Copies of this chain bind each other. A is one copy, B any other.
Amino acid sequence: MKLNSIVFLIDCPDQKGLVSRISTFFFERGFNILHCEQYTNVKENQYFMRLKLDMAGLKTSRKVLENEFAEFASSLNMHWTVHYSDYSTKVAILVTKTSHCLYDLLLRQAEGELQCEIPVIISNHPDLEHAANQFRIPYHCLPVTKETKSQQEGLITKVLKQYHIDLVVLARYMQILSDKFVNDWAGRIINIHHAFLPAFQGANPYQQAFDRGVKMIGATAHYATAELDEGPIIEQDVVRVSHDQSVEDLTRIGRDVERIVLARAVKAHLEHRTIPSGRRVIVFSSGI
């Protein structure tokens, strides 16, 4: 049986005694610490912690715990979030016409690898409705033109609210989102870019990779920001290729990397192991 747990994600200016103070805060309230990871950015004197508690230690209401921690945290100038394992994150997947990342996420969720709900799939094209149907998930087709962009994003927002969405995954959604939309959902949109950023930004990276004769192709999952392809990177990977592989081969081979990189990034987010910080993301290694 899996334990219920509470995860705190914390970042604050580094200072002496942080581990002791934080762990003692929870020890005094009767919590058992299941796992604790930390990182200090020495250059910027910033401290990051992921703390996982056994929920069995919770003797008060969640509200009381949060209020007490908020008071404690403000004395140390902390940013923090708290996550309860009995709450299931609600994920919307946005797609255009390419199915491999969509299917991959749906299957991993079905197999229990991604602990979340996927209550809705949104697309600007009708092409992938059959995939949604296979998994009995509502499919909202919201076409868009240059002229209708802001209206369409309004409709997307409405759908996201309707389903109480916590996280938006752009699983090869081939539209640039407006700054407003991206900012409204800051830290809650994960995009997969089909190249090893920062190389090959923009369109058609596999053609670029072929023309440049690179020996490895990659994929990058990042939080979306207003500057395209510049969002903080959550996960990357590459695969070796050679001169005798065509652009079509690279595209096909690249799909496997895209799938895996996106799945890992989504998993890290769902397990509350990511803290975005400027252009970087602190990704704690363990999902324990």
Give residues in A with beta carbon < 8 Å to B: 16-21, 23-24, 26-27, 32-40, 42, 99-100, 103, 107, 111, 113, 134, 196-200, 211-216, 218, 232-233, 235-238, 240, 242-246, 249, 252, 255-256, 260, 279-283, 285-288
Contact = CB atoms under 8 A, between A and B. Distances in A.
Nearest to A222: B213
A20 B16 contact: no
Contacts of A18: 33
Contacts of A212: 197-198, 233, 279-280
A4 B117 CA distance: 45
Contacts of A16: 27, 32
A286 B244 contact: yes
Contacts of A200: 198
B35 A40 contact: yes
Number of copies: 4
Nearest to A216: B236
A172 to B, nearest CB: 13
Given A212-B279, A287-B249, A26 B32 contact: no
The 7 closest A-B pairs by CB, nearest first: A213-B280, A20-B27, A199-B199, A20-B23, A19-B23, A215-B236, A134-B134
Contacts of A256: 260
Given A236-B216, A256-B260, A244 B280 contact: no
A218 B236 CA distance: 13
Given A233-B214, A236-B216, A285 B287 contact: no
A261 to B, nearest CB: 9
